[in-house]
Every structure is written in structure tokens, then in C-alpha cells.
Structure 1
Amino acid sequence: MMRFVMGRFFHAALVVAALLILVFLIVHLTGDPAALALGTDSTHEEIVAFRHDMGFDRPLWIQFLSFARGVLLHAEFGNSLRYQEPALPIVLERLPATLELTFAAMGVALLIGVPTGLFAAILRGTWRDALLRIIALLGQSAPVFWIGILLIQVFAVQLGWFPSSGRDNGWMSIALPALTLSAYSTASITRLLRASVLDTLTQDFVRTARAKGVSALVVTLRHVLRNSLLPVVTLVAMQFGTLLGGAVITESIFAWPGLGRLVVQAIYNRDIFLIQAAVFTIAVLFVAINFVMDILYMALDPRIRLR
């Protein structure tokens, strides 16, 4: 097991190194970073002075070494151009709100998607199965912004059950954003689990358990569901990245004070160092979540080993 964990950790470290290069290149792929940061209203002298102050006039490889040393040794991305403070602490200040929304959305997706997918497989061929599949298809097809606006219109404006924005009312504030963000993941989990359960039901160990007189409930929960959850674990790991990215739209709709909304504001303000810090933080989180999911995958199926 230790070999498996160390191998996955080594792969994660390689991915983080590649991310460091990509985040650095974000500033340079769009043109002159000094002109990008200052905008079209700045003079040539201001651009030249800013380029010198930020070190953008040095060779590219020297800039990368300085950037990598600052990130890896001191966790520094530079000062935010808008806030005039170190960029990473600003990102970390907004991160808890985004993680709260992401985990809430994933919790809703699992709470709804797992039993729905299981019931759809058990009720295969019935009208209830068809109805659940249609709802899941709609959940994957509907745009996030449309779902968010619809929920605000119905539950916040017309019924007045939940607030339409902000984070000041506890679970009531997170209810609509979490439902909005979880729609696609819920539908994906439902459809994948249904297909996985149908495949597991045809396996020999299931028929053997039934032939030995094991009750249908025990067979379903202990044998079928556990083995069917393996592909769902992989999907959940990928969906975390989707949720973190989708939070940009959801947080903007509901004025949720998280990292996604901060990224949108940083793009509008051309705050390149804040964008770098935010993108790298989200990417590292995604790598860390996938690392944890790999370990969980092995725990669910001990046959998995790193060769």
C-alpha cells in the first residue's frame, strides 16, 4: 500500500510542477503583461516603468526561476494590483466560502444521485426508471446560470423561502447556490451509478449470493452497491474540479463571496498576480482531491495496486 501511495504522490508532484509552469505562462501568453495590467489608458513611460519594477524586462527563464522560488519557498505570487496586498492571503481568505459551497453541492449530489441511480437500476424498464432518466438528462443539459436564475425567481422572489444572495443566513444562504451547483453532478452520478449497478447485477458473485439465500436488501447494499460505487468515486473526483470551476458562475449569480467571484473580479481588474494565485490554488486543490480519491479507490477495491 505504501508503494501505491508514494507512486500517486510522485505523480501528483509532477502535475503540480506542470501547473506551476502553466500558471507562470498565463501572464505571458496574452501579450505584454505590463500593458495588460495597466490597460490601454496608460502611457508608454508608465508601461516601461511598470515592466522594470515587476521584472518583466528580464529573460523569461530568469522570471520563471524567480516566480518558482517565490511560490515554492515563500508561497508568494506578488502583490495584488488592486488591493496592494500579497495575492495569496487574499485568495486563502475567500477559499473557505468556495470550499463550503463545493462540499455542500457535492453532498447534495451524492445524497440525491446515489439513491436515485440505485432505484433507477432496480426499477429498470418501468415508467419510474424512464422518468428518473429524463430528469437526469435535463439536469446535465440545463445551463447552470439558467437553473440559478430559475431557483431565485421561484424560491427567493415568489415564495420568499430563501435569500437570493450573500452568505449571512447560514444554511438558508447556501441552499440555492448548492442546489444550482449540484445539478450537473447529481445527474451524472445518477446515470453512471444506474449503469454500474445494472452491470454488477449480472456478475457471478451476485447470483451466488442470491443462490445462498441472502436477502435482496443485503445483496443490494453489501455486494451490488459497494462494487458499483467504484466508478462513482472516480466521477466524484473529477466532479470536484467541475464544481470548483462552476462555482465561478454560481458565485457570481448569488453574490457568494468566494474564490470564483474573486477570479471574475480579478479578470475585470486585470489583476494578473491575483489571477495566478487563484488559478494555482484551485488547481492544487483539484490535484489533492484526486490524490485522496485514488487512496479511497484502493480502499474500496484492494485488488488495485501500483505496478
Structure 2
Amino acid sequence: MHRYIIQRLLQLIPILFGITFLTFSLMQFTQDDAVDHLYEQSGAAISEKVKEQKRAELGLDQPFLVQYGHWLKGAATGDMGRSYISGKRVFENFSEKLPMTVELMLVSIAMTLLISIPFGILSAARQNTMLDLCVRFLTFIGNSLPNFFVALLLIYFLALKLNLFPIMGSKENAASVFLPALTLAISMSAKYTRQIRAAVLEELGKPYVAGARSRGISEWTILTHSVLRSSFITIITLLALSIGSLLGGTAIVETIFMWDGVGKLAVDAILSRDYPLIQAYVVWMSVIYVGVNLAADLLYHALDPRVRYEEDMK
């Protein structure tokens, strides 16, 4: 187990190196100049000499490989530079925005599980009934609607018409998380429900279920004690993918609701050509996906002893 964890963590090193090098290269090859864009936003007429001094201050006048080497050296020691716009350290920027993203993730995941698990199980248990057809139709609609359209619908009906929830996100108002979280939960619940239904149907067709029924065990006990436990592998896989993307920030939803999280930070950084923040965001996403998938693999082993890691197959 320990060897497997260490092996997966070591695999992260070349992945991060390749991703950061590619991202750094793409940012360097763009036609936009970060210093020009910085002073254009100020609206003041700045001489070329001042711009050159600023480029030298930021290290943008150096060759590409020298710039990347300096960034990589700093990143290896935990220093990913300073924001071109705010002047704050990149880690400070992320630490300010991350709690909002974590809050949005937790609420949306909780909503998704509360919706998808019972409806997925009921749909499978009542296969081809009216309930099953209604659930499948609603999940089809949920999968078809893009997040920005769902967000606009919720704003119109729940915020503007009924005035139940605030539109803009705020740390002070706990209710402001409901609309962005519900926007994310609707699309995720549609995917989760269909996958859980398929996993439960597969389990219900296995011999151990028929054996349990023949011994007079109630359908509810079979579903909750055996089938649902076996279906947790599917749920964990979905959670690993969702948590990775949600911790990276959902840019569209956070921007629409002005939710001050990591996703909105990344969008603002791209629009302002704030390269240190963009590079840090890419590293953050890579680490999150590897970490979450590693956690999911470990949970697979805890829930299902039949799951074997690669070293066990050698």
C-alpha cells in the first residue's frame, strides 16, 4: 500500500513538469504583452521606457528558458511568484479564494448525493415503471441543459420573480451559496442518477441477489445492505471526477453569480494576462486531480477487497 502511494506521488513529478512547461510555452507564444495589457487597463499614457523597466522588473525581458527556470526554481521552494495585477503572492491570492470554492463544492456535492442516490436506487428498483420513465426523462433534460442556461433560469425564477435567494455570492450571506450550488447539482445529479441506476441494475441481476430473495430477505434490506455497498465504487468514481473539477473552480457558474472563488480568479487572471496566477492555477488543477484520484483508488480497496493494485498483479 505504501509503495503504491509513493509510486503515484512520484508519477506526479513528470506530469507537473510537462504541464507547467507546456502552459508556460503557450503563454509566451501569445501575441499579447502582459505589461502592455497592464497599463492599458490603467488608462494612462505610459512611455515605452517605463514599460521596458516594468518588463525588466518582472523578468519578462529574459529568454523563455531562463524565465521558466526561475519560475521552476521558485515553485520547487513554494514560491510561485507575485500577481502582476495585485502584487500579492500567488499563494496568498489562492488562500483567499479557496474557502469560497470549497464551500460551493461541499454544498453542491451534498445536494447531488441527496438527489441522485435515492432516485437512482428507486429508478432501478422500479425498472420500466412510470417512476423510472419520469426519472430517466428528467435526467435526460438535466444532462442536456448547459450550466449557464440553468443558472439564468434559477436567477429569473428563484431570485427575480420569487425573491427567495440573493443573486450575488457573499461570505456574509450563507443563503447566497444556494443558487450556484443548485446550478451545479442539477447537471451532476442527472449524471449521477443515470450511473447509479445502471450500477444498481447490474447488481440486482447477480446471483447473490437471487439467493438473498430466495431466503426471504426483504427487498429493502438487499438494496441497502448489499446492492448499495457494491454500487459505491461507481459513486466514488463520480465523486473523484466531480471534486477535482469543483475544487478547480467552476469558472462559468462562479462568474455568473460573482462567487469569489478559484474559478473566477482564473477567469480574471486570463482576462488580465496575469501569467503567474494562470500558471499556479494549472499546477493546482493537476495536483487536485492526481490527489483525488489517488484517494478514490484507496477507497476502492477499502470497499471492495477484490480490487488489486498494479503491484499485486506483478
Output the TM-score relative to the length of structure 1.
Answer: 0.90
Alpha-carbon offset, residue 71 of structure 1: 0.8
What is the count of residue pairs matched by the alignment?
306
1:149 corresponds to: 152
Task: Please list the CA deviations of residues 225-265 of structure 1 after superposition, one character each: whole Å capped at 9, or x if unmatched.
Answer: 11122122112211223334562111111111111122222
Segment drifting more, 93-102 vs 77-86: 77-86
**Matched AA of 1:72:** A
1:72 paired to 2:95: no
Partner Cα distance (1:234, 1:279) in 2: 22
Q: CA 1:245–1:4 in 2, change beyond 3 Å: closer, same or farther?
A: closer
Q: Bigger shift: 209-218 or 126-135? A: 209-218
Question: Is contact 2:247-2:288 (8 Å) kept?
Answer: no
Match of 1:233 in 2: 236
Distance 1:246 1:77 in 2: 19
Change (3 A) 1:29 1:39: farther
Structure 2 CA distance, aligned partners of 1:54 and 1:46? 12
Tell me, yes or no, if the aligned pair for 1:24 and 1:67 is still in contact at 8 Å: no
State how 1:16-165 maps to structure 2 within 5 Å: 16-31=16-31, 34=34, 37-38=37-38, 45-73=49-77, 75-165=78-168
Per-residue deviation, 1:157: 1.3
Deviates more, 1:141-150 or 1:9-18: 9-18
Q: Which position in structure 2 is the counterpart of 1:6?
A: 6
Contact 1:234–1:293 (CA<8 Å) still a contact in 2?
yes
Cα deviation for residue 166 of structure 1 reads 2.2
- Tell me if structure 1 keeps the 8 A contact 2:170–2:176: yes
* SS at 1:260 equivalent: helix
Moved more, 269-278 or 293-302: 269-278
Q: How far apart in 2 are the matches of 1:244 and 1:96?
A: 10
Question: Is the deviation greater in 187-196 or in 222-231?
Answer: 222-231
Shift of 1:150: 1.0
Deviations 1:96-127 (A, max 9, x none): 10111012111111111111111111111011
Q: Check 1:281–1:36 CA distance in 2 against 1; reply closer, same or farther (3 A cut).
A: farther
Secondary structure in 2 matching 1:226 = helix
| Structure 1 contact 109–182 (Cα < 8 Å) conserved | yes
Shift of 1:21: 2.7
- SS of 1:228's partner is helix
2:101–2:246 CA contact under 8 A, matched in 1: no
Query: Which segment is superposed worse, 162-171 or 229-238?
Result: 162-171
Change (3 A) 1:246 1:55: closer
Q: Deviations for 1:53-94, whole angstroms, at most 9, x for unmatched residues?
A: 333343433332221110121x22222111122122112111
User: Which letter does structure 2 place at the counterpart of 1:187?
Assistant: A
Q: RMSD of the alignment, in Å?
A: 2.3
Q: Which ranges in structure 2 are unaligned for 5 or more consecutive residues?
A: none
The aligned runs of 1:156-305 (5 Å cut-off) are 156-244=159-247, 247-305=250-308
Q: How far apart are residue 292 of structure 1 and its match?
A: 1.4
In structure 2, C-alpha distance between the alignment counterparts of 1:135 and 1:291, rounded to whole Å? 33
Alignment CA distance shift 1:272-1:43 (3 Å):
farther
Per-residue displacement from partner, 1:110-154 (whole Å, max 9, x unpaired)?
Answer: 111111111111111011111101111111111111111111111
C-alpha separation between the residues in 2 aligned to 1:169 and 1:56? Answer: 40
Percent of aligned pairs sharing the same letter: 35
Could you list the runs of 5+ residues in structure 1 that have no partner in the other structure?
none
Q: Cα 1:215–1:3, aligned 2, differ >3 Å: closer, same or farther?
A: farther
Give the TM-score of the pair, scaled to structure 2.
Answer: 0.88
The alpha carbon displacement at 1:5 in A equals 2.8
Query: How far apart, in 2, do the equivalents of 1:55 and 1:28 lie?
Result: 12
SS at match of 1:166: coil
